[in-house]
Amino acid sequence: GESVGLHLPTLSVQEGDNSIINCAYSNSASDYFIWYKQESGKGPQFIIDIRSNMDKRQGQRVTVLLNKTVKHLSLQIAATQPGDSAVYFCAENLAPQGGADGLTFGKGTHLIIQP
Amino acid sequence: DGGITQSPKYLFRKEGQNVTLSCEQNLNHDAMYWYRQDPGQGLRLIYYSQIVNDFQKGDIAEGYSVSREKKESFPLTVTSAQKNPTAFYLCASQLAIGSYEQYFGPGTRLTVT
């Protein structure tokens, strides 16, 4: 089946810089997308989500952009801090409830914050 | 304090033994999930349940079994038939199947020797 993937397995940025983590999806029927942060040895934590009727959504220091034309999702983290170091996963859900087995997850990008 | 809990955090077993991992949620969510995560890998779906007394196989169900006798509980048994059981196991719950956030537990790291 179609799956969500990520362009870069590891991303290293300087503390204070902005980070952009990318995600490609291939199922045009997906209507909901979500980003998770997973610290080592812990369960994934929700960061932000977006529905397909939007192209941008902002949270605290994070912005998710959705480009349905090219099936691309990105997570922007502003002014990165050491605590942002983690693996970031994107996930999608098929519309309207076609994702009977829940969300489909990408493999993740490891974000490393350099001091 | 609402949330999803898994116990224990670390579990050690000898090869050939069955082991059951606990997952409890008090979020009143209908759907619950079990994932397996191997080092440097993404999440792979083992089993999921949309409602009490019903569950479905995910992508890697072989060697695992589940039950859903109560809405808040979804235990996972790793049987001796699972050829490579050492992994990090994550439980999640969701309001309902569909376009909603999944809430994850802290995970159980199972080591089988």
In this prediction, residue A106 carries a pLDDT of 85
Largest CA distance in chain A: 44
The whole-number average pLDDT for the span A81-104 is: 78
Neighboring chain A residues of B36 at a CB cutoff of 8 Å? none
The whole-number average pLDDT for the span B73-102 is: 91
Contact: A102, B45; criterion CB under 8 Å: yes
Neighboring chain B residues of A93 at a CB cutoff of 8 Å? 98-100
In this prediction, residue B87 carries a pLDDT of 96
* Pairwise pLDDT comparison (A94 vs A107), residue with the higher score: A107
User: Distance from B51 to chain A by nearest Cα, in Å?
Assistant: 12
> Could you report the per-residue pLDDT of B15-53, keeping only the tens digit for each?
999 999 999 999 999 999 999 998 877 899 999 999 999
Sign of CA dihedral B24, B90, A100, A71: positive
What count of other Cβ atoms lies within 10 Å of the Cβ of residue A82? Answer: 9
In this prediction, residue A1 carries a pLDDT of 30
The whole-number average pLDDT for the span B74-91 is: 95
In the β-sheet with A19-24, what is the strand arrangement from edge to edge?
A: A5-6, A19-24, A72-77, A62-67, A56-58
The distance from CA A12 to its chain's CA centroid, rounded to whole angstroms, is 16
Nearest-5° Cα angle at B56, B50 to B60: 130
Give the pLDDT band (50/70/90) at residue B95: confident
Would you say residue A14 has pLDDT above 90?
yes
What count of other Cβ atoms lies within 10 Å of the Cβ of residue B40? Answer: 10
